[in-house]
Structure 1
Amino acid sequence: MNAMLTRCGIGVLALTALSGCGGGPTERPGAATTSTSATAAEPTTPTTSEDEPSFEMPVYGVEPTTTRALAPGEVTCPPPAGRTVTVHSSAPGSPTLTVGIPEGFAEETADGEEVRLAGPAGMTAHITLTPTTRNARDAFTQYSVDRVAKFSIHSVSVIPGDLCGYSGQELIGILAEQPGKGNEYADRIVHVWTNSGDFIAVVRLEGPSGTPGFDEARTAMLADFGITMPD
């Protein structure tokens, strides 16, 4: 069953400007949503770090992992149609990702291991593949924490994003240092197992809050992508 959880964080001075994560992403039709907010209300009694609310990212999109021997060059997830870019890691045994390019986007940097795309209205996309020693749940949790760590105002909504039997999540939210001057982001992260170890595939989309066409670009950029094992 598809579901989405939303988590928000906000500084004391910005509390009223982003009440309830206003301006955040819209929920997919049919998704069940729960919300929690980290607010900074005036306490009536002294608090300690143990009193602070803690948030645990949900396991949405984490699938049971049943590995098997993979043939050289095996396509474990078919590539999309249309314009694409390919990305791999320098790590031995790295698979290759084949990711679709949304309309209006063009390659800005492409060296095989990292691709950056420039899109309309200030939107950008970034695609990477890196080895990991973490399992899917731990890798996703760490990624979501790192994604918002540098921003005093942030939100993240988690949606299942599994792909061709691999565990995956979509993270959608906002990142800002002050109210009204932030970015929307939409990421898809997939935990890919191979004969030589595990990898994290990341497709990121980001743009100024309220950018026209962001939702359409998100749908295209975070669509299913191809995965091919090395020869």
Structure 2
Amino acid sequence: MTRFETLTRAVAVAGAAAVLVVAAGCVRTSTGNPVAAQGTPAATAGPGPATLGDPDSSNYGVVPTSRAQLPAQAVTCEPEHKPQIGFVAQVADAAAPVVTVPVPDGWSMQGGSGDIAGHLTGPQGMNATITIAATSLEPAKAFEEYAARMMAEAAVSSISVLPAELCEYSGQKLLGAWSDTPQNAVEFVDRVVHVWTNAGNYLVSVHTTAPTGTPGFDGAAELLAGDFQIRIP
């Protein structure tokens, strides 16, 4: 365990959840490399519905950002429980953090390009995309813009926000759904973490999707949205 103590996943589910609402048109809107290593998100009571961009929801999971200089190859977050299978996700940006994400058994793993650090593919249309992107934004604003992009994916969309700090890094968990038609409905679970390296800010996200009602999605999404290792280059 490093000097950054891993926060338990209970912190994420114990915090308040915000539901963001966006209207689209006339439709109602509700609210790397593989390496060997090691169920349903909990509902929580909260302050009630919030509109997209509500400052309370964007600040969920935001903690002070430490900018103390770190040695090269420092592991600043080491989850207490290592996954049986992990994917080492990294991008070409030499200053970007490297993360090791837990992967469900039986999923395939493939590297990406640009800000996409990897693609993970599971059964029955389940998949996940890992992104590591430089950002000039501080955590609250970065999370707000990320949530807005998720809401803009379809004519009907809903999203709930949970605080999900990770090893003293600001973080959020997003749970939501998209639907252009009743037959084309998708649910998603994202884990988003704001990481400062010696060179600047990065937004790390694990975005997991599946057709609504897919068996096994809750368990897979719970694992993929869990804590992950962070290494500073």
The AA in structure 1 aligned to 2:76 is T
Partners in 2 of 1:11 and 1:209 — Cα distance? 20
Residue 89 of structure 1 deviates from its aligned partner by: 2.7
RMSD: 2.3
**Gapped regions of structure 2 (runs ≥ 5):** 1-13, 32-39
**Is the 1:14–1:178 Cα contact (8 Å) retained in structure 2?**
no
Matching residue within 62, 86, 89 for 1:87: 89
The AA in structure 2 aligned to 1:199 is Y
TM-score, length-normalised on structure 2? 0.80
**Is the 2:62–2:140 Cα contact (8 Å) retained in structure 1?**
yes
**Gapped regions of structure 1 (runs ≥ 5):** 38-52
Partners in 2 of 1:28 and 1:220 — Cα distance? 13
The AA in structure 2 aligned to 1:28 is A
Matching residue within 188, 193, 205 for 1:190: 193
Name the residue aligned to 2:21.
8
Partners in 2 of 1:77 and 1:188 — Cα distance? 15
SS of residue paired to 1:145: helix
SS of residue paired to 2:178: strand
Structure ID, larger Rg: 1
Residue 61 of structure 1 deviates from its aligned partner by: 0.6
Identity of aligned residues (%): 33
**Is the 2:127–2:208 Cα contact (8 Å) retained in structure 1?**
yes
Name the residue aligned to 2:42.
28
Name the residue aligned to 2:5.
none
Name the residue aligned to 2:111.
110
Q: Cα–Cα, structure 1 residues 217 and 153, in superposed 2: closer, same or farther, change >3 Å?
A: same
Detail structure 1 runs of 4+ shifted over 4 Å in the superposition: 10-15
Partners in 2 of 1:27 and 1:101 — Cα distance? 17
Partners in 2 of 1:5 and 1:217 — Cα distance? 23
1:212 and 2:215 correspond: yes
TM-score, length-normalised on structure 1? 0.81
Stretch moving more, 81-90 or 203-212: 81-90
**Is the 1:6–1:33 Cα contact (8 Å) retained in structure 2?**
no
